Structure 1
Amino acid sequence: MQMNIKDKSQIELFKTNINNSQKVVIVPHNNPDGDALGSSLGLYNTLKNMGKDATVISPNEFPDFLNWMHGVEDVLIYDKNIKKASQLIKDCELVIFVDFNALSRIKLMGNVFKEDETPRIMIDHHPFPEANTANIQISVPEASSTCELLFHVLNEAGFKKNITKEAAECIYAGIMTDTGSLNYNSSRPETYLIVADLLRMGIDKEHIHHMIFHNNSFDRMRLLGHALGEKMERIPEQRAAFISLSQDELKRFNFKPGDTEGFVNQALWIEGVNLSAMFTEKKDIVKISFRSRGGFPANKFSETYFNGGGHFNAAGGESKLKLDETVERFKTVLKEFCEVNNYN
């Protein structure tokens, strides 16, 4: 199960820091998804099994469909418990960042770490890590997910024996959510070897898939129907399709965090569509998700026009324009991008 961890000494430093620390704080990115929370709780349950005093501090709330994960009730939400969370960070001996590689990804919580001198470890699979995010930076963009990378790191450090069944379930969930059930970002044989190891640990994959993918609220299904039936548009010339949802529309369907998870993937099921985009209106910005197939570089497109980035076939961005202005800009720059790069 080899990965391209260029500096193997980082694994040894990870091992040393874990062994020498009792109080550990684990931090996922803002608006944590399945991979962020899965890697957080996968590591949390492993460290607890090692006798460590571990705490997961999330910058904000996470989606309800992840509430089944073992240890989720112990996650501290930073923006609701700023004083307590800040004290825990101050008192801990080690901080571990998972599934992000820049302090901007944890929003206001990032201010806590600008002057904090507690040793920090970063475990992440996104490209172009920001320098000095952590003292020890374990970054492997070719990994399918941070959960896959975490399993590899724990194994290489000699901690595989400490991964409980509950931790394995969280790690498996992160791999499944970040690959769309192994539909993308999952062409490396190593990914499947790790899934096989997780199955040997006794996880109930049918139950996990049910809790993640087949446990929708009535409102979420109605929102999906509205998005597909009323809000999805095609751009045949650029082999693209997109969905846009306003705050009013989200409110009409009693939106909860996580309700639009996976919506961006839907348009890729259409024959001839190589790029799918999802525009979601928030209070001050428009959040954008991109998914692609074939040779379209979703990350390059997002970086160029929407202050974003990510993986080749899965990226995100944002716009400070109004929702309708953002959509019009998308149409314009997509045509430009395709013409310049010959993607038509």
Structure 2
Amino acid sequence: MSKVKKGVLLINLGTPDSPAVPDVKRYLIEFLMDGRVIDIPAWRRTLLVKGIIVPFRAPNSAKLYREIWDSQTGSPLLHYSKVQRQLLQQQLGADYHVELAMRYQNPSIPKALANLKRLNVDSIRIVPLFPQYASATTGSVIEKITEEIRDWPTFPALSVANHFYDNELMVEVFVENAKKHRPETYDHFLFSYHGLPVRQLLDVDGSGKHVCDQAGCRERIDGLNKFCYVAQCYATTRLIAGRLDLKTDDYTVCFQSRLGKTPWIQPYTSDVLKEAAAKGKKRLLVFSPAFVADCLETIYEIGTEYATEFKELGGEKVQLVESLNDHPKWIAALEQLARGELSGWPKSESLTL
């Protein structure tokens, strides 16, 4: 009789099946129709996404995806995610079975869960691949999985690694990748995170009135703001900056990829580029610690768009620090997360379903 396996489900955000406009359109619709991503009434979201955003954005996004699409491996995000799954499976061994899914598009969450159900695993460890918790990412993953398994007659033991913003091995990878670019040759450092609407932070402490400036989210993380995305982003930044001996004046935390006219977390990366150029900064080293694999937001948005914008402003160079990708220490961090052995400063917490 074969030994019962423990299941591990890695989940990243998603990617189109191809850079063709119809595939990009399909991806954008599924992504932007998620009520945790655009958190407005469903009828308004439908009009906005299907009537305005996607028809205009899909052709342009398809062009951008073509810029980063590899003729052999396809989407960088999917490629590195597959490699991460394979290497993690090797690390965990035969007692575990590792599945990979994307929150949007393929490989799908329903298919991955069906595979784990078929194997009759005795537990499933869910690892959303987002270092900092946000309702629009990790929260959406948890909601989707709950919806998919609610009719299962029996449930294996379920647990979720709901954040790992302070994982020591993850921090070490970003530090090692930065050192490849000789940080001493740069005159300023940016930590550019994916943006969120400010309104999505209001209830991170259960009050519905959370305000980062009042809670000190940019200076510390504690029991009151531990689920705040901003607090976790700044905490990750302090850990990386500390390992590189950076002073607070040496770096700026900023947020990219905003959508629409409602207030998003500030400062915006595009504004910080302008401020850096105005102060005479010439060479910027840019981290993007909200991502565990290089993707459109890192390779193109930072590596191409921001680099071009900064040069037009009088700067000389924007250098992206590579993401975690297939670094051996990141695979070791994934093993910690998969086994529930979370390592950080202080210890990360695990949410059990």
* TM-score bucket (shorter structure): under 0.3
TM-score, length of structure 1 as denominator length = 0.26
TM-score, length of structure 2 as denominator length = 0.26
